[in-house]
A and B are shown apart, each in its own frame.
Chain A
Amino acid sequence: MKSAYLGIDVGSISTKGVIIDDQNNILCSEYIWTEGDPIGAVKRLVRSLAKQFDPSSWQIIATGTTGSARKLVGTIVGATIVKNEITAHAVGTTTFYPEVRTILEIGGQDSKIILVENGVAVDYAMNTLCAAGTGAFLSSQAKRLGIGVEEIGEYAARSQHPTQIAARCTVFAESDLVHKLQMGHPREDVIAGVCNAVVANYLNNVGKGKKIVSPVVFQGGVSKNTGVVKAFEKALGCKVTVDPNGHLMGALGAAILARRGKGRKAFDFAVEDTEFHVREASCGRCPNNCEIICVYSGNTLIDAWGNRCERGAVH
């Protein structure tokens, strides 16, 4: 029986899972939409991974979770390590690209930049207060234009004269986009303009003051969009590498961290059949009114969080 490691990355838009061996080879992987239901998404993910997995020769001995639902999902799957997505991405990318100097990452709701020196992250930034220029913006614009988010790159490639879109703010960018369409700009040009706007916004917000040095690796869901990749290459004036598994990098990082970690616990595929539910309670012991999240497996409380102080601790 050989050892395998599971990494799960539950983001705002998509849920990713990989199982790797000791040499970081991917045994199985899956990428599905979260659809606002992290628990359901993880169950679907596990079901689909189980189909690809060969339990007769491999055994999962450690599990890592990352992404915005890492804590909830970590509780459900019994993770041996729960890590933030910035560290997971840095670890994943530096493992596969030891020479990388800059990691650009644009996900559904957040975007980050990680600067690397000698294989070690030395600086990072993440968007605060505003999600302009992330995947959510692209997918809402695609919907408005009546095309699939996957088709954006293809449309953008056909454009000869990308339209200028004012992208300081997602909401105003949308009104500007509508205005440009009504003025008669072709759809291709507007779409290419949106891709440029995402890049300009990223570099002006998250990348502000950061020295972007080649080799550059671009990942996260938006990296699958060739229009944005081209816009990045044009803006930075250097080649931007997109890994075929770039969308799985967070999950890969989580799996690698699980392998490096000390915790060992056999993963049970039975989670897909277990009934989990979450109840929200308001603490009410002071005017903070902390919202406490209680996670139940069947009728047993398995974990709770959300309290700011010990008054709201659930025993």
Chain B
Amino acid sequence: MAKQLHKEIRMKQISFPRYAEYNCCIKYGLEHAFHNVRYIMPPPLTRQTEELGERNSPDYVCTPFKTLLGSEIEALEAGADTVIMTHGACRLGYYGELQEQILHDLGYQCELINLSSYATGKRRDWLRLLKHVDPKLNLPKFIQVARDTLKMVEYVDDVTAEYYKNVGFDATDGEYRKAYRKFLASLNIADSRADIEADYRTVKREFQEIPLDKPDRPLRVGILGELYTVMDAYSNRNLEQKLADMGVEVHRWMTITNQVVHYSNVKNLEPKIKDLCTYSMGPTSTANIWFAKTCAEHHFDGLIHVKSANCTPEIDIMPVLQNISATYKIPTLYLTYDTQTSDVGLLTRLEAFYDMIATRKKALS
């Protein structure tokens, strides 16, 4: 008993800020790959998280910085002693350093593992990070767990995509939503690859069995935009759910699976949008322009572009989206989020957008 307790105390209490539905995967990965790590799940994002982040952040930094910082603080309050901050291809790459400074200034005696300092492109730097977390690292086991975790991420994205395509047409009293929430909850306690596979199979079967009341040609809307806000339901004020609830099939390409795990194909996407832009404009711009064009070519009924205030790469692609909107005659709604964004204002715009695309579809058919 005492030995067990001693071991618990020596464990690293690592956390990673809330990010869409991926925290269960991060938990699985960290706890299984390293023998000395316990994952601290930060509380779900709320208004309080945002306020915490806002209070301690520079005013003009983008909203994800504030939300992530708020979530890190909440994780530290929940008992974490180490926080991981991701790297990225835009300003995100500098965020870890600044957040570390802010957290230390606030008096948190924590370690911040800044992935930016290891993302040099050299494999030995990543190895250095792994050895730093766990000196007794079992590399083959780590590789196996990493594979399982990526599979888990793919499952989350696959199920989420199916969910938002169909939940708006659920013929039962919320069974679809229940099945999805149950899937996410069960992933939180998954302990092996077999568990993950079983959860995935269960939810896929349940989705199949729930009766849908879906027209042959439902309204289809493509959602694209900045990496964090477009994926995180709290940050975009439940945009996808709100749209789906109006009876829309919601499509989003931007996921960790597509953008990070399988995104070796930027070279393949660029030629496909040669007619629209010559240069890459930022971490997600090529993919977003390509996705907008693809949706337009497939006669989607509308596009929604999501970004946080001051997100330069996404502001840069807006003229290209306006061209797509004009060429293919596809209505496009531009949404900018900051910490003050109100639910009511968003709903007004979404309702108007829905009315517009619904009337237009009726008039065109």
Contacts and interface: CB of A to CB of B under 8 A. Distances in A.
Contact of A209 (B318, B359, B360, B363): B318
Query: Which residue among B49, B329, B336, B345 has the maximum number of chain A CB atoms within 10 Å of its CB?
Result: B345
Contacts of B338: 129
Contact of B356 (A118, A124, A288, A308): A124
A286 interface: yes
B48 interface: yes
A90 B326 contact: no
Interface string A77-96: 00000011111001000000
B140 to A, nearest CB: 42
Contacts of B336: 128-129
B205 interface: no
B329 A86 contact: no
A83 B348 CA distance: 9
Contacts of A287: 43, 46-49
Contacts of B348: 68, 84-86, 126
A214 B220 CA distance: 30
Q: Label chain A's interface by main secondary structure.
A: loop
Interface string B325-337: 1100101101110
Nearest to A287: B48
Contact of B355 (A87, A118, A128, A308): A87
A122 B47 CA distance: 35
B47 A288 contact: yes
B211 interface: no
B351 interface: yes
B309 A286 contact: no
A123 B321 CA distance: 13
Contacts of B48: 287-289
Interface in A117-135: 118-126, 128-129
Contacts, number: 72
B129 to A, nearest CB: 33
Contacts of A125: 334
B277 interface: no
B352 A123 contact: no
B46 A122 contact: no
B319 interface: yes
A289 to B, nearest CB: 6
A87 B351 contact: yes
Interface string B193-222: 000000000000000000000000000000
A31 B356 CA distance: 27
A120 B363 contact: yes
B351 A211 contact: no
A289 B329 contact: no
A84 B355 contact: yes
B158 interface: no
**Interface core residue of A90, A128, A211 (most chain B CB under 10 Å):** A128
B343 A308 contact: yes
A209 B326 CA distance: 10
Interface string B12-47: 000000000000000000000000000000011011
A87 B47 contact: no
User: Most B CB atoms within 10 A — which of A85, A90, A119, A288?
Assistant: A288
Contact of B46 (A120, A129, A288): A288
B47 A84 contact: no
Interface string A58-85: 0000000000100000000000000111
Contacts of B238: 308
B349 interface: yes
Contacts of A86: 348-349, 352, 355-356
B322 interface: yes
Contacts of A286: 44, 46
Nearest to B319: A209
Interface string B143-156: 00000000000000
What are the 4 closest A-B residue pairs judged by CB atoms, nearest first?
A86-B352, A287-B48, A209-B322, A287-B46
